[in-house]
Structure 1
Amino acid sequence: MWLRHRLWPAAAVLPLTLLVLRDAPVRFAAPPPQAQVHERARGVAQPTIVTRAAWHADEGMVREHAVYTGAVRAVFIHHTGESNTYDCADVPRMLRAVEESHIRGNGWDDIGYNFLVDRCGTIYEGRAGGITRQVRGAHTTGFNADSVGIAVLGNYGRGAEVPKAIVRALAEVAAWKLRPGADPQGRVRLVSTNDASRYAKGEAAVLHVISGHRDAYQTNCPGEALYAKLPAIRAAAAALRQARTGTADAEPPH
């Protein structure tokens, strides 16, 4: 684990070649202050998450305030594409490099992913706007609304080892963030908002509730090895909800 007060070397922009372009300018206006409420309590407890303040995100780089969408209906799993040999103590520096790459390199408002996970299984806050809020990310072209994007730091292509800590962390975030009534092992119907995805704008797609990036976009992300772990991640997320509430749903559907 990393020490908060350690001095980190200057961030170098990572070779994040597997990132997607943000959706075409389909904007969701932020609700008025009185309507900006936290998501209601869930059956699954929030996992431990390292905040942006703790990893020293550069808030001065953020271009616009967060925008919000509906309750989370789908989770998209990614990998960032760099080496897997990093020391987990160096992750705050790596996150600042991802932030710089997304904002200054890609021209996005903020880091694209809602959450990131390192190879030690530590979960980090990604895009700003509130960990418990339904923040619209820039992670899966065509399907950024009503979804959460979680990226694992590293490259999980064919032959890579996926530590159990990563599977556990991804399952914890998915079980906690998915809306009441969502089955982590089920499927969901989503409508694409961008022709650049695998589905034309306006076309309905039936996807796994917990999907890989490649399910919605022409990419190898999240890599063969991590993609092969999706069934285990779905099962673990369902078990977490089952253990807490007696059903795979966090709460009964309304």
Structure 2
Amino acid sequence: MSNIRGMRGFLASSIGVTCAAALVLPLAPSVAAAPMRPAPTAEAATAPGERPAPGHTDSLPLTALPATRATPTSPAAREQGLPPRDVRRFSLVGVIWDDPDAELHGRVEVRTRATATGTWSGWQDLETHNAEHAADPGTAERTSGRVRGSTAPLWVGDSDGVEVRVRADQAQDPFANPLPSGLRLELVNPGQEEPSRPAGRAAAPQDTPATTMTAETAAASAANAELAPLGALEIPELTPDRTREELFALRGAELTEEQRARPYIGPRPRIVTRRGWGANESWREKKFVYTKKVKAAFVHHTASGNGYKCSQAPSVIRGIYRYHVKSMGWRDIGYNFVVDKCGNIYEGRAGGVAKPVLGAHTLGFNTHSMGIALLGSHASSKPSGAAVKAVARLTAWKLGLYGANPRGKTYLKSGGGNLYAKGRNVRLNVISGHRDGFATECPGWQMYRKLGTARSTAAELQGR
């Protein structure tokens, strides 16, 4: 144990310091004209001792559909897509294009064939306005040359057939190029988790030795070295007294006299680590990027539908992570935290859950903030009480580390967006919805109207 602690401390010092969203929608009744085939045998679960199946992404270029090719009176094709086809197994689908600043004015629809039954879904829409979830303009992540425009991804479950059509808005100039260039369909298989790992439950120390981890996995884990052992699958919750002790240990030299006298902070909640939800650390960029503090929290929803089981949440998160990095060209998953409907909290972007990690969640306001995404769809469906309570518990703790009052207001400088010009100081709630910083429907009206409850509960948990 002393060797593990010593290694943990070494890694912490040498490495640790160094509403776009997935949709989970119920399948519509099968289309009468859809091709059918006998249902295959369901894939067996990974047996103990087996290596988990790795994930993959298949990227397929879209082409003009036969009935919509360019003509002398309409020189630019107004519809692209793919006819029905067999593909490798996937669970999440999205459409990307070359220019991240280009907007797709139109409609993107897909239908998929379920592996278990061999039946096709009805047509389902992909959200085309995804730019509000992004790194701030001018940052290294945004100007890397790898970032692409994209729809939100759609979680469809285990599938092996797909058809897609992208239709331009009829109001667009028919002689202009109505669709962005380089349209591609991304089919994401998030891969399996390691065998015998219940979602979010920590294994015994002997089950997670440092010698079995890659350097990238060890680095991501070491960023939380002050909170949990190296290789931990979760960061356990703490009592209020232990949390205050941890506050002084983590930030004692930076605390004001008032914070020392009255440390307003909620008890640390249980958080599933990146290793706990099965993040492949080789996908992301190696270095971590930080801001100086956390002044505000932006709440999102992933518009993912509410029919998923909480045991499936790690797979959905891995799918979003892979889409953000491999398809959209981001350095890591955009959100700092994800919360499922059962109230489980998951570590998002790597760098340490107690640290001010720079995310890519709220275009223009990523600096000095954190992004929390509810895994669900809350435009018309109410979020679960467990999810709202989890947001309150998480913000009470994380904002408390930086002396922020969940009921208060703060100022953030805009990095540029469609609501506030770059450089403008904007007064915002310390706990804000995504729509407060960008013109978007996120986090859905039903979640947005619960933010008052989350603020009050978080403040009470802090002892205010």
Q: Identify if the C-alpha distance between structure 1 residues 127 and 25 changes in structure 2 by more than 3 Å, giving closer, same or farther.
A: same
Q: Which residue of 1 aligns with 2:306?
A: 84
Aligned to 2:267: 45
The whole-number CA distance in structure 2 between the counterparts of 1:232 and 1:119 is 16
The structural deviation recorded for 1:105 is 2.3
- The reply on whether 1:188 has 2:301 as its aligned counterpart is no
The correspondence for 1:125, drawn from 347, 352, 362, is: 347
Aligned to 1:206: 427
Q: Kindly indicate whether residue 290 of structure 2 is the aligned counterpart of residue 177 of structure 1.
A: no
- Of 135, 149, 154, the match for 2:371: 149
In structure 2, what is the Cα distance between the partners aligned to 1:226 and 1:66? 30
Report whether the alignment pairs 1:100 with 2:322.
yes
| CA apart distance, 1:9 | 9.9
Q: Counterparts in 2 of 1:14-33, with a 5 A limit?
A: 17=127, 19=130, 20-27=133-140
Q: TM-score, normalised by structure 1?
A: 0.83
Distance in 2, matches of 1:218 and 1:212, equals 11
SS in 2 for 1:104: helix
- Residues 1:189 and 1:163: Cα distance change in structure 2 (over 3 Å): same
Question: Aligned match of 1:12 in 69, 74, 91?
Answer: 91
1:27, distance to aligned residue in structure 2 (A): 4.9
Measured in 1, the distance between the counterparts of 2:407 and 2:280 equals 36
Name the residue aligned to 1:33: none
Q: Distance in 2 between matches of 1:182 and 1:69?
A: 15
2:326 counterpart SS class: helix
Structure 2 equivalent of residue 56 of structure 1 = 278
Residue 172 of structure 1: SS of its match in structure 2?
helix
2:457 partner amino acid: A
**Residue in structure 1 matched with residue 446 of structure 2 by the alignment:** 225
Question: Shift of residue 197 of structure 1?
Answer: 4.1
Contact 2:92 2:319 in 1 (8 A): yes
Between 14-23 and 204-213, the greater mean CA deviation after superposition: 14-23
Q: Deviations over 1:86-128 (max 9, x none)?
A: 0101111111001011112221100000000000000000000
Supply the distance in 2 between the matched residues of 1:14 and 1:156 (Cα, whole angstroms). 21
Q: Deviations over 1:41-99 (max 9, x none)?
A: 77333210000001110111102422111221000000011211001011111110010
Greater C-alpha Rg: 2
Classify the secondary structure of the residue corresponding to 1:54. helix
1:130-182: CA deviations, max 9, x gaps? Answer: 11111011111111111110000011002x02111011100011111115432
User: Match of 2:346, SS?
Assistant: strand
Higher RCO (Cα < 8 Å, 6 or more apart): 1
- Matched-pair contact (CA < 8 Å) for 2:266–2:458: no
Kindly state the Cα deviation for residue 202 of structure 1 after the two structures are TM-superposed. Answer: 0.2
Report the counterpart of residue 252 of structure 1 in structure 2.
none
Deviation at 1:184, TM superposition (A): 0.6
Distance 2:315 2:419 in 1: 33
- Matched residue type, 1:128: A
Q: Quick one: which amino acid aligns to residue 378 of structure 2?
A: Y
Q: Aligned-pair distance for 1:13?
A: 2.7
> Could you tell me how far apart the structure 1 residues matched to 2:378 and 2:348 are?
20
In structure 2, the CA distance between the partners of 1:8 and 1:115, relative to structure 1 (3 Å rule), is: farther
CA distance in 2, matches of 1:197, 1:48: 36
Letter matched to residue 136 of structure 2: D
Aligned-residue CA RMSD in angstroms?
2.6
Consecutive unaligned residues of structure 1, counting only runs of 5 or more, are: 29-35, 243-247, 249-254
Contact 2:368 2:412 in 1 (8 A): no
The yes-or-no answer on 1:238 pairing with 2:449 is no
Partner SS, residue 205 of structure 1 = strand
Q: TM-score, normalised by structure 2?
A: 0.47
Residue aligned with 2:393, SS: helix
The number of aligned residues is: 231
Greater displacement, 17-26 / 177-186: 17-26
Which sections of structure 2, spanning at least 5 residues, go unmatched?
Answer: 1-46, 56-89, 95-125, 142-222, 227-249, 253-262
Identity of aligned residues (%): 43
Q: Which has the higher strand share?
A: 2
3-state SS of paired residue (1:150)? strand
Q: Structure 1 CA distance, aligned partners of 2:449 and 2:331?
A: 32
1 CA distance for matches of 2:349 and 2:445?
26
Q: Report if the CA contact (8 A) 2:134-2:334 is conserved.
A: no
Tell me how far 1:14 sits from its aligned partner: 5.4
